[in-house]
Amino acid sequence: MSEIRTAIQSLKMSFRTRMQYRVDALVAALAVFVRESTNIIVIYLALMKFQNMNGWNVSEMLFLYSILFLTYAFVVSLFADLRDFPRMIREGRFDRLMVRPRGLLFQLILSNADVIASVGHGTLGILLFVYSAGKVGIEWNLTTILYYICAIIGGILIQGGMFIFFSSLSFHFVETNSLREIFYWNMRKFAGYPISIYSKLIQGLMIYVVPFAFVNYFPAQYLLRKEDMANYNEVYMYIAPLVGVGIYSLAYVFWRISIKRYKSTGN
């Protein structure tokens, strides 16, 4: 109970911080929305010309993308401090969490929530979902709705787990931003398209190393059953929500081990 109250307090604090300059906050949310929309416009224009991509039509592609946005809208608020973790360490802001009587990840999660970015990503995700969900031939019944919710939670956990993993690396190496850039942000861009269009190497990376495929591709496949699923093991569709739990737990263990190596920054 007290955990929940503290979490709500953290969220309130982040919201107040971010809303200090209201106009600025609104513009920032709009900027995120516009920036991310350009990706969508590119897909839309490309598919006007090619009709489909490996069998995926425009609505299906947008449905695939909507999962990415919706999960990220949660990730960016839940894990904002872990997204910017190297900076937090450099500025010495991490020490203060260590002397408070609560779990570190518990304190990091929700603290400094980037609610502005959440609004940007979330709005876009909802718009895309509303636009595409009715057109892609999904029969929305109890099973599919439950699966969808589990898949979204799984997708949040996968990305949160990755942030925790990359943050843990900060205890071992001074500079980890480029790793994060290559493996998180680039892979995320790839995840906007069905992974079957990529080379085997990238597909392998996205399934086994940086498992973005389980964030949106396999969950979308469960609901859409496109032909290119024949390239992969069918089990992947069913275990997609579980992968999140697995990745998150692994990342948590790695975090616990890594934290012992923490060297505070000097005064």
Partner 1 sequence: MIVLKEIEKALGKKIVLKNLSFHIAFGEKVGIIGLNGAGKTTLMNVISGILKPDKGFIRVNGVESPMEHHHALRNIAYISGTRPQLWKDLKIKDSYEHCQKMYQIDKETAKCRLNALDEIFEVKPFLTAVPNSLSLGERMRCELVYGLLAEPEILMLDEALIGLDVSIKHKIMGYFEQCRMEKKSTMLFTSHNLLEVEKLCDRVILLDKGEIIFDGSIKRMMKEFAPLYRIEVKFEGNLPDFEDLPLEKFYYEHGVLEVVFDKQKIETTQLIKHIMEKCTVKDVKIKEPDLEDTIKKIYNGRKRS
Part of the chain binding partner 1 (CB under 8 A), chosen from 88-96, 113-121, 163-171, 219-227: 88-96
Q: Rule CB under 8 A: which of 245-264 touch partner 1?
A: 260, 262-264
Q: Rule CB under 8 A: which of 8-47 touch partner 1?
A: 9-10, 13, 16-17, 20
C-alpha–C-alpha distance, residues 195 and 191, integer Å: 7
C-alpha–C-alpha distance, residues 184 and 53, integer Å: 24
Tell whether residue 266 is a contact of partner 1 (CB under 8 A): yes
Instruction: Indicate the helix (H) or strand (E) that contains 69.
Output: helix 58-78
Q: 49 or 263: whose CB is closer to partner 1?
A: 263
Q: Rule CB under 8 A: which of 146-165 touch partner 1?
A: none
Binding partner 1 (rule: CB under 8 A), the pick from 98, 145, 149, 257 is 98
Amino acid at 212: F
φ, ψ dihedrals at 53, nearest 5°:
-125, 110
Q: 103 or 204: whose CB is closer to partner 1?
A: 103
Binding partner 1 (rule: CB under 8 A), the pick from 24, 95, 181, 227 is 95
Q: 99 or 201: whose CB is closer to partner 1?
A: 99
Min dist CB 21 to partner 1, Å, is 10
DSSP code of 209? I
φ, ψ dihedrals at 266, nearest 5°:
-65, 160
Q: 96 or 200: whose CB is closer to partner 1?
A: 96
Reference 76, options 111, 115, 37; nearest CA is: 115
Q: 6 or 57: whose CB is closer to partner 1?
A: 6
Could you give the residue ranges of the DSSP H alpha helices within 79-213?
A: 80-83, 85-90, 95-98, 104-108, 115-133, 142-169, 177-180, 187-190, 200-204
Min dist CB 96 to partner 1, Å, is 5
Part of the chain binding partner 1 (CB under 8 A), chosen from 94-102, 204-212, 217-225, 237-245: 94-102
Amino acid at 175: E
Binding partner 1 (rule: CB under 8 A), the pick from 27, 52, 92, 250 is 92
C-alpha–C-alpha distance, residues 85 and 164, integer Å: 9
Q: Under a CB-based contact definition with an 8 Å cutoff, are residues 194 and 228 in contact?
A: yes
Min dist CB 11 to partner 1, Å, is 11
Q: Under a CB-based contact definition with an 8 Å cutoff, are residues 239 and 147 in contact?
A: no
Q: 88 or 220: whose CB is closer to partner 1?
A: 88
Site residues (CB under 8 A) for partner 1?
2, 5-6, 9-10, 13, 16-17, 20, 92, 95-96, 98-103, 260, 262-264, 266-267
